[in-house]
Structure 1
């Protein structure tokens, strides 16, 4: 059990440079079509092997669809296009602003009040985003490199807030398996419409990165995540995710040659501090 949190941080953190490497030879919709489709099939197979039922209640259909579109489909597609438009480290950190957008959406949708800690988190987080986005005005950063990761963060936050209001009762592993298949199907439509083609062959390094993305960062990581959730509260388990962007940034520097500048580190620090306040700050009763 003690090894699961660091294992998850490594699996999901290194997935950022793994996807970047995969994109060097595989187009974005094709990568997501294969990755999420295969990951979904592996999860459903694992569910069967562990004696879980693949059936779910009719009342779960809408929450599973909405959650699958927001938390899995839009999130993953936005992330992959973010990596095409900016550095892996910037994409990872900006996507980590999810807790900030969750605060805003929970205020609007669920009526949760904004206390001093949450307002501080929003101010610090928006300042970090502004720092990371500032190179847009000098032409050194593609605006889409900021837009796509923020869309990913907003999508995940919206899905989380929606599922808080309308949770599903289906088994978590089975639900994510189906949602990954849904995301893979949407990516398949994008693959056809965009006219992408599959590469005739892959280098060994790219093939390894894609295999890691599918088997390690998708299937195995989700199995470990559900194991952790079965033993701990969601809040305690969520502390694991706090190390993911740090591992992602370090992995991007080592594996894909990212070299963040001083301004990037300032933005990174602000976003991580804000996310920490939003996630672990004092909670209202």
Structure 2
């Protein structure tokens, strides 16, 4: 996470300088930036841990519950009303979580817990990003994202005075993770700014079958049909909620 953020800083400063958008960086909302980035940093670390201990398809399916947490937490953070449709979507999504996670109270996997909590962290990040977009530009949000998370990463990696340096083997992968992570943040934010969520979100869910195939082909992970069934319910919950919101905007 530390090296990923350092790479992100270089990218943001380079692109911001070339495009002249660095002047858009403000210090208006440091507390919201802090909460947003702390939430995302926690979620991302939990996600990184989860992918090392449970199948990739299971991690991604649980990650897709993030919009449902946004639905439940939006009344607290954004003062948005929790409608009947949103509540039903949350219940349907929770059923999907149970199918994906195969919960056994006596032996609940740490990886499943981490993936589920990562979704909560990503939801918090999304909610406070929404708050920030009311007053700040994408460049400003990405600037503070990389700066703050580099500090968080430095503290967590270096609290014991021992930060591992990249090797010839790991450096290219760290560079790829840093570039891909920042580009993904930019692309999703940009996509939602120019296209309806009802169009964007189904494309995001296409990651699940893709990653399931990669997990099977590269890491010999089994294809669990329960994961796809649960993910289908989670997708249906999110999609029905988005459709209802889209119809509501058309009517108004």
> In which range does the TM-score fall when normalised by the shorter chain?
0.7 to 0.9
2:60 alignment partner, one of 92, 110, 124: 92
Partners of 1:121 and 1:275 lie apart in 2 by 7
Q: Residue 260 of structure 1 aligns with which residue?
A: 223
Partners of 2:113 and 2:125 lie apart in 1 by 18
Matched position secondary structure for 2:220: coil
Q: Contact (CA 8 Å) 1:41, 1:181: kept in 2 or not? A: no
Question: By how many angstroms is 1:58 displaced?
Answer: 3.3
Structure 1 gap ranges (5+): 1-31
Q: Which has the higher contact order (CA 8 A, sep 6+)?
A: 1
Q: Residue 50 of structure 1 aligns with which residue?
A: 19
Question: By how many angstroms is 1:202 displaced?
Answer: 4.9
RMSD: 3.0
Q: Residue 9 of structure 2 aligns with which residue?
A: 40
- Calculate the TM-score normalised by the size of structure 1: 0.73
Question: By how many angstroms is 1:191 displaced?
Answer: 1.0
Q: Contact (CA 8 Å) 1:99, 1:279: kept in 2 or not? A: no
- Calculate the TM-score normalised by the size of structure 2: 0.81
Question: By how many angstroms is 1:229 displaced?
Answer: 5.2
How does 1:74-85 map onto structure 2 within 5 Å?
A: 74-85=42-53
Partners of 1:256 and 1:196 lie apart in 2 by 30
Q: Contact (CA 8 Å) 1:173, 1:222: kept in 2 or not? A: no
Deviations 1:130-165 (A, max 9, x none): 1222254574x62x2122222221122223334445
Structure 2 gap ranges (5+): none
Q: Contact (CA 8 Å) 2:197, 2:242: kept in 1 or not? A: no
Q: Contact (CA 8 Å) 1:37, 1:184: kept in 2 or not? A: yes
Q: Residue 98 of structure 2 aligns with which residue?
A: 130
How does 1:188-199 map onto structure 2 within 5 Å?
A: 188-193=154-159, 197-198=163-164
Q: Contact (CA 8 Å) 2:50, 2:112: kept in 1 or not? A: yes
Partners of 1:64 and 1:233 lie apart in 2 by 25
Question: By how many angstroms is 1:100 displaced?
Answer: 0.8
Matched position secondary structure for 1:53: helix
How does 1:1-285 map onto structure 2 within 5 Å?
A: 32-70=1-39, 72-109=40-77, 110-115=79-84, 117-134=85-102, 136-137=104-105, 139=107, 142=109, 144-165=110-131, 167=133, 169-193=135-159, 197-198=163-164, 201-203=167-169, 207-215=171-179, 217-225=180-188, 228=191, 231-232=194-195, 236-283=199-246, 284=248
Q: How many residues align?
A: 247
Partners of 2:203 and 2:20 lie apart in 1 by 27
Partners of 1:183 and 1:126 lie apart in 2 by 30
Deviations 1:222-271 (A, max 9, x none): 45445545644566545542323333333323333321323333222222
